Amino acid sequence: MALGGLEMLQAEIAEVGAVHPVGRVFEVGQGTISVSGLTTRATLGDRAQIHTRASGLFDAEVIALSRGGVTLLADGAVEGIAIGDRVEILGQAGIAPDDSWVGRIVDPFGRPLDGRPLLRGPLERNVRAAPPAAATRGRLGGRVETGLDVFNTLLPLVQGQRIGLFAGSGVGKSSLLAKFAKGVQADVVVIALIGERGRELREFVEKTMGAEGMARAVIVAATSDQSPLVRRRCGWAAMSVAEHFRDQGKHVLFLADSVTRFAEAHREVALAGGEPPSLRGYPPSTAHQIMSLAERSGPGPEGTGAITAVFSVLVAGSDMEEPVADILRGTLDGHVVLDRAIAERGRFPAIDLLRSVSRSLPDAASPAENALISKARKLLGAYDRAEMMIQAGLYANGSDPVVDAAIRVWPALDAFIAQDAPDRVAASFSRLAKALSGAG
Ligand SMILES: Nc1ncnc2c1ncn2[C@@H]1O[C@H](COP(=O)(O)OP(=O)(O)OP(=O)(O)O)[C@@H](O)[C@H]1O
Ligand SMILES: [Mg+2]
């Protein structure tokens, strides 16, 4: 629905409340500010503004409420805030995405980051929206084309599926997400870039995505220099943008890079709010935060579209027990593991196929396709178990027919995993069959 200029202006004006409750700063701690006079007026998550006498306006958010007062966390440094400074509660700040945001880069408050004016959409959405109720949700949809042979065949992706992408630093997470952004069949792509360095954001947009990738994408970004409140909000705000398009019946591809940075931002906010650390420094609420973000993606309520999602997770070494990885793995419909050793020998994407699964199988594929998938997995498994012997020259040809076959097809299978798929899923399966044909 397109709104005229007048309606747009009216919508803007409606957002501007006439009176905001006001309190006073009575304590300034390490990043947090305690405020009196607002205990019954503020709500958790409200945005606030601190009017300092010395240094102008500071933006902040309500992170804890108690009888003693309201605790705020400032978006930036707190130097310059003094006892007695006036604090204004602005209420919950939503985001109002618009169809015209496609091709644009926005911050988690819906402000443009690419230097051009940005239109506000007609409807303000809650950035912390609840996931659709399970009973009203549609089912997983059909297989989508992904632009990569391996995801068209061995690790299929269906509409509304949610997968995790687990890898150490510099193993190719962002590059693979960009490939998805360009190649996965979807109406709109929404990308949450959480906690990247400013330089990386620019490089991602200009080089990795390029004009081709940006043509159907909205990027919501919060760089590493921003406050944990803003970085955490980036995950939520991007999901709200995805929901905007989903509610129009569109198929949205949501890419988050990375959930680890989202969880770290939450940890900083929660610890500042007084929550105790537990799981390796993460407060107990972390699991809920990650799961409710992931739950917002997936098939939408009946009559809407779907959000197919890929969440990247930074794992140190190959430590899949790391808390963020562990929490996410349980809620997702599949995971892809990237391996440093594979990246080091130069095969990209560096997918460790034996440790990666898509839970949309076997339903996503036909019986003949499932047979090919099983055969490929079996041969890759046999090669993997014998690899040390093979590399060391200790394997004697003929001692195990399965290993013999695996050795014959391995180069073709390895190349297949790296291959782009400019065409249909069926063509990817033909190439897989060809790669396996040497097995006999
Ligand atoms: N498809 C590819 N082809 C060739 N090289 C690649 C490919 N994907 C990744 N690389 C190499 O790996 C490097 C790291 O990739 P990328 O930035 O995607 O990793 P990352 O996991 O997102 O890293 P970080 O943890 O720093 O965010 C790239 O600079 C590039 O050299
Ligand atoms: Mg990256």
Quick one: pLDDT at residue 91?
87
The pair phi, psi for residue 252, each rounded to 5°, is -105, 135
Tell which atom from ligand 1 comes closest to the C-alpha of 177: 18
112 residue type, one letter: P
Residue in this structure with the two tokens 């760089």, named with its chain if needed: 223
- The fold for domain 15-91 equals Thrombin, subunit H (2.40.10)
Ligand 1 neighbour 194 (Cβ under 6 A): no
Instruction: Look at strands 86-91 and 32-36 and give their pairing.
Output: unpaired
Measured CA to CA, the distance from residue 248 to residue 304 in angstroms comes to 6
Q: Of all helices (H) and strands (E), which one includes residue 387?
A: helix 367-391
Q: Which of 65, 251, 246, 69 is nearest to 142 (CA)?
A: 251
Atom 23 of ligand 1: nearest residue by CA position: 170
User: Which tokens go with 82?
Assistant: 């003094």
367-436 is classed in which CATH architecture?
Answer: Up-down Bundle (1.20)
Residue nearest to atom 8 of ligand 1 (CA): 172
What is the rounded distance in angstroms from the CA atom of residue 237 to the CA atom of residue 278?
27
Residue 249's pLDDT is what?
96
- The class (CATH top level) of 99-358 is alpha beta
Residue 1 pLDDT:
44
Q: Pick from 150, 169, 175, 312 the residue to mutate for probing ligand 1's pocket: most ligand atoms within 8 Å of its CB.
A: 175
Ligand 1 center from residue 185 Cα (angstroms): 23
Please state the domain extents for the chain: 15-91, 99-358, 367-436
Q: How many other CB atoms sit within 10 Å of the CB of residue 371?
A: 11
pLDDT in tens, 130-157: 999 988 898 899 999 999 999 999 999 9
Which ligand is nearest to the Cα of residue 170, counting in written order?
A: 1
For 243, list phi and psi in degrees, rounded to 5. Answer: -65, -35
Q: From the CB of 195, is ligand 1 less than 6 Å away? A: no
How far is ligand 2, taken at its centre, from the CA of residue 222, in Å?
14
32 CB within 6 A, ligand 1: no
Q: Could you tell me if the CB of 171 is within 6 A of ligand 1? A: yes
Q: Specify the amino acid at residue 133.
A: A
How far does Cα 390 stand from its chain's mean position?
Answer: 39
8 Å CB contact between 236 and 293: yes
Ligand 1 geometric centre to CA of 191 (Å): 17
Whether the CB of 316 sits within 6 Å of ligand 1 = no
Which residue's C-alpha comes closest to atom 15 of ligand 1? 172
The string of pLDDT tens digits covering residues 374-404 is: 999 999 999 999 888 888 888 888 888 999 9
Whether ligand 1 lies within 6 angstroms of the CB of 183 is answered as: no
Closest CA to ligand 1's atom 4: 348
Q: What are the average pLDDT values for consecutive 10-residue runs of the chain, which has 440 residues?
A: 62 63 88 88 91 90 90 87 93 93 96 92 93 90 95 96 95 94 96 91 89 94 92 97 97 96 94 84 92 95 95 81 86 94 95 94 93 96 89 85 92 95 93 89
Q: Is 173 in the pocket of ligand 1 (CB under 6 A)?
A: yes
Residue having the nearest C-alpha atom to atom 1 of ligand 1: 348
The Å distance, Cα 116 to ligand 1 centre, comes to: 30
C-beta of 178 in contact with ligand 1 (< 6 A): no
Any atom of ligand 1 within 6 Å of the Cβ of 182: no
